[in-house]
Amino acid sequence: MVPTLLTAALAPRRWARRLGVAPPAGPPSFSTAPGWTDGLVRREPGPQRCDGVLVEQVDAATCGAAVLVVLRAALDARYRRAVAGPRLGADRLGTAQLRVHRESTRWWPRALGTSPWGMARWLRAAGVAETRVRLVDAADGADLAAVVVEVDAAVSAGWAVPLLVGSLVPRHWCLVLPGFPSGEWLAYEPSSGSVRRVPAAAVAERRLRPLLGFDDVQAVLLPRAVNGTGGPRRARRPSPPAAP
């Protein structure tokens, strides 16, 4: 079902390319993001530990949930305190991920992880950010080059960008961290609980497996562009964080 949905969703982009319909020229422009705080993970390469606990996904299906927990904790101090408590424990981190996994997969088989639309819906419902799903045709070099430009523009404006990688099908969520210059991404990879440097060339050349587990970028969640369709939108007012 997953590859069928992805193929169907990419069909308009492929037909537009065949008909010579070019995407808008130039990189998108994003509003400045809310302030990022190095909470559960830090913006530096290496294993990420908080209070001695490795910040990794709790099981094989919670990579997306791990990304969502890290992302909200960096932007929402109340949520970060609710997750970490007086001292973060592996049980608290695992409980938070499993709760987010349930909330973000209400209309999706949980064993398949979290869909891009489930990720975007959870971020909106939690009041974290208004994002849009940007599918990527990894077989198209021009589309890969374009998504690198778009992600660079977002992280330069201070946004973190959830990144879905895979091979024949989507498989794994990572998080591109904000504030780094073009040409290299700094990405949180939840299966190892580490932050890794990702050269833009590795995206274009489809050789991300040693860094992020799978070779191809298949989707990203981008903030709504100021110069894009719909304009900037405010996230819904967040609900009070529930203690894990």
3-class SS letters over the chain:
CHHHHHHHHHHHHHHHHHCCCCCCCCCCCCCCCCCCCCCCCCCCCEECEECCEECCCCCCCCHHHHHHHHHHHHHCHHHHHHHHCCCCCHHHHHHHHHHHHHHHCCCCCHHHCCCHHHHHHHHHHCCCCCEEEEECCCCCHHHHHHHHHHHHHHHHCCCCEEEEEECCCEEEEEEECCCCCCCEEEEEECCCCEEEEEEHHHHHCCCCHHHHCCCEEEEEEEECCCCCCCCCCCCCCCCCCCCC
Residue 141 lies in a domain: yes
Residue 34 lies in a domain: no
Domain total of the chain: 1
Report the distance separating Cα 68 and Cα 70, nearest Å: 5
The conformational region for residue 20 under phi > 0 = left, psi -120 to 50 = alpha, else beta, is left
Residue 73 lies in a domain: yes
Q: Looking at this protein, which amino acid is placed at residue 215?
A: D
The confidence score (pLDDT) of residue 11 equals 47
Residue 176 lies in a domain: yes
pTM: predicted TM-score of the whole model, two decimal places: 0.84
Residue 21 lies in a domain: no
Residue 35 lies in a domain: no
Residue 39 lies in a domain: no
Structural domain including 66 reads 45-223
- What are the C-alpha distances in Å from 188 to residues 69, 103, 108, 221? 12, 22, 24, 15
Residue 244 lies in a domain: no
Q: Residue 215 belongs to a domain with what CATH number?
A: 3.90.70.10
Kindly give the confidence (pLDDT) of every residue in the chain, 244 residues in length, as a single tens digit, with 9 standing for 90 and above.
344 455 445 544 554 444 443 444 566 778 888 888 898 999 999 999 999 999 999 999 999 999 999 999 999 999 999 998 888 888 999 999 999 999 999 888 888 889 999 999 999 999 999 999 999 999 999 999 999 999 999 999 999 999 999 988 899 999 999 987 668 999 999 999 999 999 989 999 999 999 999 999 999 999 986 654 333 333 444 444 544 4
Residue with tokens 């069928």: 4
The confidence score (pLDDT) of residue 35 equals 83
